[in-house]
Amino acid sequence: MKIAVFASGRGSNFSAIARAAKKGELAGARIALLVCDNPSALVIRRAKAFKIKTLLACREDFCDRASFEQAIAQRLKEERIGLVVLAGFMRMLSAKFVKSFPSRILNIHPSLLPAFKGSTAIRDAFISGVGNTGVTVHFVDALMDHGPIILQESLKIGRRDTLPVLEKKIHAIEHKLYPEAIRLFVKGKLKVRGRKGKALNR
């Protein structure tokens, strides 16, 4: 199966997935394309290092959101992409785009959803005083940080943890959990039931 990873920044999850694929840990799947909307993103250099093709699609180069997403969707079709993986892609995908890849778009979020949605989830959990946070991998729907949950892993926030320490711990979980979720998808062990549920058969 060919995977397209969407990313806008450093690309640490991109690298974790690429390494897992290289080791044969994704049930034969591989990253065929990086989709990036930021020409200065470090993830572009990471893709070159792994010899993975990049589609650089900057929103400002298109007259509207629809044409921006249409160009991306067309390239995914040309590459015969079977799974879209969001890994720090800092744009909401429209409902139309999501519907064109039904139950074939995954996202990873640095909290135990539905708690702490949004781009500052790690910081929000840290300053809130909660004892635990974690990581969630889920199917994408039209809402932000929403959709059937695939995997979650909890993490205790230590008394001496600083925000950078917590971020490092969260990223370590992400780099393990995301390849596992992709492997389960590729092996056909994830089935969405209705709009809110999911079935996970290992």
For residue 92, what is the DSSP state?
P
Measured between alpha carbons, how far is 111 from 153 in angstroms, rounded to an integer? 9
Is 109 one of the catalytic residues? yes
Which residues touch 54 (CB under 8 Å, ≥6 apart)? 33, 34, 35, 36, 44, 47, 48
**According to DSSP H, which parts of the chain are helical?**
12-22, 42-49, 65-78, 95-100, 121-128, 163-186
Which residues touch 195 (CB under 8 Å, ≥6 apart)? 141
Q: Identify whether the C-beta of residue 33 lies closer than 8 Å to the C-beta of residue 54.
A: yes
Q: Identify whether the C-beta of residue 148 lies closer than 8 Å to the C-beta of residue 197.
A: yes
Phi–psi pair at 70, nearest 5 degrees: -65, -40
By annotation, the residues acting in catalysis are 109
